[in-house]
Amino acid sequence: MTKVDRGAIPFSEYKKKFKALADEKRLEIMHELSRHDSVCVCDLTDILDLPQSKLSYHLKILLDADFITREVRGTWSYYKLQEEAVNHILSEDLCCLFRKESRQPAVERNNS
C-alpha cells in the first residue's frame, strides 16, 4: 500500500477553516460581509446584535482562517470577505481529495 505524504495535503489548514465555518454566528458574519464591500465593526455589532467582545472573538477566528481581512481606518476596523478563500474551500480542489477515483486499491491481508 502506498503511504500518503500527509505533509503534501494541508489538513491542519483545512481543519482551521472548517472550524471557522462550524459556527452559526460566524456564518452570519460572513453572509453580512458578502453583502457589502467592507463593513465597520461598529456597524456589525448593531447588525448582528452582538456585544463587541463576542464579535471580536468571532472575527479573530475568521481572520485566522483567512476568510476575512481587516483594514484600520482611523480608530475603526473595517472587515471584508476574502471571496477567493471562501470559494476555494468550497471548490473542486478540496472535494477531489475525497473522490473515490483518487483512492488506492485495498490491500489484501493474509491471516495466516
The reported pLDDT for the residue numbered 102 is 46
Residue 86 has pLDDT above 70, yes or no: yes
DSSP 69-85: EEEEETTEEEEEE-HHH
Cβ neighbors of 79 (< 8 A, separation 6 or more) are 33, 38, 39, 41, 44, 59, 68, 69, 70, 71
Q: Which amino acid is at 5?
A: D
Fold of 11-99: Arc Repressor Mutant, subunit A (1.10.10)
In this structure, is the dihedral angle defined by the CA atoms of residues 23, 66, 95 and 29, taken in order, positive or negative? positive
Please state which of the ranges 28-32, 36-40, 49-53, 100-104 shows the lowest mean pLDDT: 100-104
Q: Delimit the domains of the chain by residue range.
A: 11-99
Name the pTM for this structure: 0.75
Tens of pLDDT, residues 58-72: 999 999 999 999 999
Residue 12 pLDDT grade (very low, low, confident, very high; cuts 50, 70, 90): confident
pLDDT of residue 107: 52
